[in-house]
């Protein structure tokens, strides 16, 4: 079950940054952008809205421009509507898609040609960097994701939901929690992180990890000198309703 803060003040300063619902496996790089949710993915997203988020509904909803994220957001909103709740949806944002890939289709084609699955590609990217034609500097990409979330929260204060992709989430867990992109750390469908923008810090919570970094991180260009992550074993922070990893 998603872990959301129990106190209103913290919730109102938080963003739930989550992966879209279940899709079928990608068997051709041409499908990477166009593959849609499965019926189970739509149903799961609807339940997330009706059964989980209804008790702590977001005020604002954003999603990636890739269609399966729109489907996920729409299904969540349908579930919230069943409970008489109507958050404002801001539609698709390219910042939640692949702003760190100069030419996404070229990157996906090259990754496929080299025999790299998503996890392996991201591992190489975060460890060694990539040809700039394939992907931007990973720290700059991660900071860009964080900065986008912060801008939206500043413009529209209150609890927000952002529907995005696994790579985007991994960038933040890597930057803020120090998690390497291993299979055990990879976000499942409808799973993500909670980012809370405090007065003097930014808290990231993912599964059983929580860490607060200085708010000055938003002014950095490369995310250097972050303290080591801390683990809070007393509570789990998995944003999922189906346990899919």
**Is the model's pLDDT at 91 over the cut of 50?**
yes
**Is the model's pLDDT at 76 over the cut of 90?**
yes
Which strands form 88-93's sheet, in the order they lie side by side? 88-93, 60-64, 160-164, 14-19, 192-197, 201-206, 209-214
d(CA 118, CA 125): 10
Report field, pTM of the whole predicted structure over 0.95: no
Closest CA to 76 of 181, 161, 192, 196: 161
pLDDT (tens digit per residue) in 147-161: 999 999 999 999 999
pLDDT given for residue 113 in this prediction: 94
pLDDT given for residue 240 in this prediction: 35
pLDDT (tens digit per residue) in 208-241: 899 999 999 988 755 455 554 444 433 333 333 3
d(CA 29, CA 112): 7
Beta bridge partners of 162: 17, 62
202 close to 218: Cβ distance less than 8 angstroms: yes
Q: Kindly list the domain boundaries of the chain, sorted by start residue.
A: 8-24+31-219
229 close to 178: Cβ distance less than 8 angstroms: yes
pLDDT (tens digit per residue) in 5-23: 889 999 999 999 999 999 9
Angle at 112 between CA 107 and CA 114, to 5 degrees: 95
Query: What's the CATH code, domain 8-24+31-219?
Result: 3.40.50.1240
Mean pLDDT of 51-75: 97
Closest CA to 74 of 59, 58, 62: 62
pLDDT given for residue 1 in this prediction: 36
pLDDT given for residue 226 in this prediction: 52
**Is the model's pLDDT at 2 over the cut of 90?**
no
**Is the model's pLDDT at 31 over the cut of 90?**
no
CB atoms within 10 A of CB 199: 6
Beta bridge partners of 62: 162
* Direct distance between the N- and C-terminal alpha carbons of the chain, in angstroms, rounded to an integer: 13
Please give the structure tokens belonging to residue 206.
């993912």
- Could you please report the per-residue DSSP string of 66-120? SHHHHHHHHHHHHHHHHTT--PEEEEEEGGGS-TT-SSHHHHHHHHHHTT--HHH
Mean pLDDT of 101-123: 95
pLDDT (tens digit per residue) in 183-201: 999 999 999 999 999 999 9
């Amino acid at each position: 079950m998603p872990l959301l803060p129990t106190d209103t003040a913290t919730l109102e300063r938080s963003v739930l940054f989550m992966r879209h619902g279940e899709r079928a496996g990608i068997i051709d790089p041409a499908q990477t952008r166009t593959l849609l949710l499965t019926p189970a993915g739509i149903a799961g997203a609807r339940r997330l809205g009706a059964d989980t988020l209804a008790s702590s509904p977001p005020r604002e909803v954003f999603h990636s421009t890739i269609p399966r994220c729109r489907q996920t957001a729409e299904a969540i909103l349908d579930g919230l509507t069943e409970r008489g709740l109507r958050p404002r949806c801001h539609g698709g944002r390219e910042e939640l898609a692949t702003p760190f890939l100069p030419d996404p289709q070229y990157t996906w084609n090259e990754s496929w040609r080299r025999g790299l699955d998503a996890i392996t590609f991201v591992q190489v990217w975060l460890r060694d960097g990539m040809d700039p034609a394939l992907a931007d500097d990973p720290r700059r990409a991660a900071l860009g994701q964080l900065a986008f979330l912060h801008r939206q929260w500043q413009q529209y204060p209150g609890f927000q939901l952002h529907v995005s992709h696994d790579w985007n989430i991994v960038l933040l867990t890597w930057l803020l929690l120090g998690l390497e992109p291993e299979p055990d750390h990879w976000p499942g469908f409808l799973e993500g992180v909670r980012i809370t923008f405090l007065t003097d810090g930014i808290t990231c919570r993912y599964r059983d990890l929580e860490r607060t970094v200085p708010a000055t991180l938003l002014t950095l260009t490369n995310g250097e000198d972050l303290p080591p992550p801390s683990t809070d074993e007393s509570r789990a922070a998995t944003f999922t309703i189906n346990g899919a990893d």
